[in-house]
Amino acid sequence: MEFNVKSGSPEKQRTACLIIGVSQPRKLSRAGKLIDRVSDGFLSTLIRRGDMDGKPGQTLLLHHVPGTLADRILLVGCGKDKDMNEASYLKIQDSLSTALDNIGAMEAYSYLTDIMIKGRDIHWKIRQTVIQMEKNRYHFDQLKSDKKEPPKGLRKLVMNVPSRRELSTGENAILQGNAISSGINLAKDLGNLPGNICTPTYLAEQAIRLDKTFPAVVTEVLEEEDMLKLGMGSLLSVSAGSRQPAKLIAIEYHGGDDEKPITLVGKGVTFDSGGISIKPGASMDEMKYDMCGAASVLGTLTAIAEMQLPINVVGIIPATENLPDGMATKPGDIVTSMSGQTIEILNTDAEGRLILCDALTYADKFDPDVVIDIATLTGACIIALGRTPSAVLGNHSPLVNDLISSGKKVEDKVWELPLWDEYQDLLKSNFADIANIGGRDAGTITAACFLSRFTKKYKWAHLDIAGTAWITGDKKGATGRPVSLLTQYVLDRLES
């Protein structure tokens, strides 16, 4: 879909569809008042008689409004001005997208960017409109034999800016929105692919494709023999039962000078059966989504590279399957991690932390400024927080707070859980330095406690996205989260 920005008075716009906001109770926006004036009260008459009261999600399509050059005018309900916030703005764009698909217009001009949101400027509104529109148009039919033709709906959306001075701001917002949408869509595609296609080797190929596409990206893929030489016994213990070789993927984006990089570590279990501690059969197909942390790293690096941001970022992806086999790791086995710490594996279904701990040790090689790991790590996270926010824990409060702040800006929310020393006792082992599980209590926290043993050399935060990486049920599919959050964090770092 094509996006543009323009500055002008609504009655002078020659367009297939002019989009005007109406708030409650029956209150025309600034653009609506201008249209009402040139149409001798056409809009206010409709509103007075109750055709449109401005409720959120309400739309009313009008044809050939007097005094205007537009073929149609679409009135969109915006709710009460005092209730307007980031979430309600995105819901308005969502209802707009649905309405535009059904009116037959190929292009439209929107004045919804006039909506006032406390603390959010025209750049934010335009960028988030682009992301929301692209989100609503995403569909995954790559593996269907009967591919449907895309609907002949809207192809171009022009968004209004207050004056010509804001045109460059709007164009930059569109660039960012398109880049972030590309990253989100890549993360969704990778998540939605089945495990027999999206293997560790396939993830490595996607990383190599980034290398070939963007001059600022350099990718290195370590094979199992390389990991063995590095002493990554923990990671390799997870791949032991799979015929698919594990990969450790390192992607470096060099956009800045010599400053230390932001380092993102994404869990890449391309299918998780639980191993010997096998999962129940119901919904096990959704364990193809256990690589969504890796997908979010690839998506974020794609967005950063498309925007050509002047910053250094490293992405590290430990990729493997977790399957039962005669060679698979058994409960009670003890392995040695790259850090030298020994781990008693009491449950082979707690495998994400086993691959992440070696990747987090490897991350120190890049002398990182901060390290953020992203993982569909614990079902306990869904019990604790549901499917609205991701969980965040870490050893550096300013980093955690920055992630919370960035998430609020893009409606990709996170909630902090405690990482207190008292929880570390739950990981005691009689036979090794540490156990890989801590029992039923505080499962998300003890998983992060485990990872914290391997992150003492740098500032670190952990995002548990088990409840947010995909939607289950009739609308099953990857969400692309937290690409928006991670990209916003990088953008915020550039502004700080």
The residues that are catalytic are 279, 353
> What is the helix (H) or strand (E) element at residue 146, kind and residue range?
none
Question: Cβ(138)–Cβ(122) under 8 Å?
Answer: no
What's the distance, Cα to Cα, between the start and end of the chain in Å? 32
Per the DSSP assignment, residues forming a β-bridge with 221 are 249
Q: Give the helix ranges, DSSP H, for 121-213.
A: 122-137, 167-192, 200-213
Of 204, 211, 209, the residue nearest 245 (C-alpha): 204
Q: Give the helix ranges, DSSP H, for 2-140.
A: 30-38, 42-48, 86-100, 122-137
DSSP state string for 218-277: EEEEE-HHHHHHHT-HHHHHHHTT-SSPPEEEEEEEE-SSSPPPEEEEE-EEEEE--TTS
**Sole residue written with tokens 């870490």:** 394
CA 148 from chain center: how many Å?
26
* 466 three-class SS: coil
Q: Compute how many other C-beta atoms are within 10 angstroms of the C-beta atom of residue 23.
A: 24
DSSP state string for 39-69: TTSHHHHHHHTTS----TT-EEEEES-TT--
Distance CA 482, CA 493 (A): 17
Of 390, 381, 392, 362, the residue nearest 460 (C-alpha): 392
Distance CA 323, CA 326 (A): 10
CA angle 366, 369, 374 (to 5 degrees): 80
Is the sign of the CA dihedral 447, 448, 452, 454 positive or negative? positive
Task: Indicate left, alpha or beta for 29 from its phi (over 0: left) and psi (-120 to 50: alpha).
Answer: beta
Looking only at the bridges linking them, the beta strands covering 247-254 and 217-222 are antiparallel
> What is the helix (H) or strand (E) element at residue 164, kind and residue range?
none
162 contact partners, CB below 8 Å, separation of at least 6 = 7, 114, 122
One-letter identity of residue 200: P
